[in-house]
Structure 1
């Protein structure tokens, strides 16, 4: 019997340092997130970061926490529930980090007699610290706990025509009645070394402004290329002016070069250049979360206005929107019927 496992990032159980600390520990100790030798990672995470970060992160989480719980978890549950209503297959939900584990999601499917699983990482783009770590963890759990299961993984869907249509029309709705000077596509940041590590050719990715435009097999696993491609596809679909659209990257750690330009620097630059009305989109996420609701919607607005900007609009992620639900259901129903992926 076939079934589907949707997997998102995850969240602490509550916006308190007590619950944020183990969540951050699991997240930051992932070798695909902080990709340094284990001893150094242990020293960096448990000896330095976790001494101060949980309190700071808990404060940030408390600013965006809903009565029902973590926004990302609540939205993901709503999305999964709606998808179930559009398919006859069992649909389970798991998180890469936190208490709603991938193992529990697979167990849920096993309890419903599922032995063939479509794994859907809820990330549009491929990155070793998001998409790849979900796939690796799911395969590890499958081999250890559910050897009888077969798992098929949905590819990154950032350039799928139907996805670009749904994303673009959601953005168009967000831009309606907002006379913008600029539209910024802000993507989650990753270290530059992750781009090079994910390059199967080991020579194509130079992060020099040109390699992303030269066709290569490396693009299948190049997060930077895929982000810029998303911006270009949406821009073309909506007919957005070339000079009013750009991309940037957020959420970096100190000490290493991360993908540029940095979103917070762009907020200041736009305002100082006289761009008073800024719209910001976060297409690396399909569900609103800490990075979109606090870092972009709250902190970003404050940074832009402090630098002289006047009107700021954060456009929500797809979340559990009907068009996004219908598209996901279409993909998984086609997989069930044809045993092939439509992407």
Structure 2
């Protein structure tokens, strides 16, 4: 067993542009969208599509969106991740650093900062801050960190914490962060998750014969569930709904942030927000469990655009519930996950 004094921790999140300027947003979007695990087309086609079409069209609008949610201390996602870092550092003896998959701080900087604090470092515990496994989120973060680790030939051991979508401490933290909002009158509770192309779900099926092929595939036991985003978000939602005592007819799941024209996971959040008022569900609570830190996709897409869509479609009230951020039970859960790795 490695001594606590020989261990370092890295919290790894998605990332943000350095500023809200169009050039910085362009750099960020290029890095993000050129990731082969995000848009998995052949490299040349991906480069032409992203650098020639998508980024030139989206950069200015994206810069405006970032500017609308930017904090005095910078990107909300990075600021919140730093808050989580400080909260965890308060409860742990070993040093804690943060890294981003795209943008700054880079994983190499985090590795080197830990070494500066302890040149005799024997183990680094990496926690990708994604509850659910997806090629374009958890996998790309974990594999990117591993690539840098191997390239730099660090002598310490790198241990990566797996997705925690059904871990009791995560479910409890998520449920308790939501519970106070249930005191207000509401007709419906919506779990909105970041979407994926349906093709990604099929591609991630390690059996080649389960996902979207077997009836009720998310509930039929399969080894592919360890890598299936659809299964994992379904289980998270069911566990949280059960913990909160939500009736089955009073909650649902939808998927946001669609990009491009191909078929993505359904139902789409935007369409759901339009249809709910027509079904008499006019008082809405909405949460985004795919994210542990509030970011552009929650603060702008859901809190602003989503609210506008829902109210303009006939809704009466709309409340977006913040992500876990630095909820005390979430901090406690992260500390526990790291300690469990150390004891292995």
Q: Same fold (TM over 0.5)?
A: yes
By how many angstroms is 1:146 displaced?
Answer: 3.6
**Residue 170 (1) aligns with residue 177 (2):** yes
By how many angstroms is 1:138 displaced?
Answer: 0.6
Q: Deviations over 1:245-270 (max 9, x none)?
A: 00000001122111000000000010
Check conservation: 1:185, 1:248, Cα contact below 8 A. yes
What SS does the corresponding residue of 2:101 show, helix, strand or coil?
strand
The count of corresponding residues between Structure 1 and Structure 2 is 337
Q: 1:46 to 1:207 in 2, by over 3 A?
A: farther
Select 1:55's aligned residue among 57, 60, 63: 60
**Residue 93 (1) aligns with residue 98 (2):** yes
TM-score, normalised on structure 2?
Answer: 0.96
By how many angstroms is 1:109 displaced?
Answer: 1.4
**Residue 307 (1) aligns with residue 313 (2):** yes
CA distance in 2, matches of 1:188, 1:115: 36
CA distance in 1, matches of 2:143, 2:277: 42
Select 2:129's aligned residue among 114, 122, 129: 122
Check conservation: 2:159, 2:341, Cα contact below 8 A. no
Paired position in structure 2 for 1:282: 288
Paired position in structure 2 for 1:36: 41
Q: 1:22 to 1:68 in 2, by over 3 A?
A: same
Check conservation: 1:83, 1:329, Cα contact below 8 A. yes
Paired position in structure 2 for 1:148: 155
Paired position in structure 1 for 2:3: none
By how many angstroms is 1:327 displaced?
Answer: 1.5
**Residue 236 (1) aligns with residue 242 (2):** yes
CA distance in 2, matches of 1:18, 1:47: 15
By how many angstroms is 1:147 displaced?
Answer: 3.1
Written as runs of structure 1 = structure 2, the 5 A alignment for 1:1-343 is 1-113=6-118, 114-176=121-183, 178-206=184-212, 210-336=216-342, 338-339=343-344
CA distance in 1, matches of 2:65, 2:233: 26
CA distance in 1, matches of 2:42, 2:58: 21
CA distance in 1, matches of 2:307, 2:221: 37
TM-score, normalised on structure 1?
Answer: 0.96
Check conservation: 2:193, 2:290, Cα contact below 8 A. yes
What SS does the corresponding residue of 1:11 show, helix, strand or coil?
coil
Unmatched 5+ residue regions in structure 1?
A: none
Give the RMSD, CA atoms, in angstroms.
1.1
Task: Give 4+ residue runs of structure 1 displaced > 2 Å after superposition.
Answer: 112-115, 333-336
What SS does the corresponding residue of 1:298 show, helix, strand or coil?
helix
By how many angstroms is 1:89 displaced?
Answer: 1.1
CA distance in 2, matches of 1:134, 1:253: 20
CA distance in 2, matches of 1:208, 1:299: 35
CA distance in 2, matches of 1:193, 1:107: 37
Q: 1:125 to 1:165 in 2, by over 3 A?
A: same
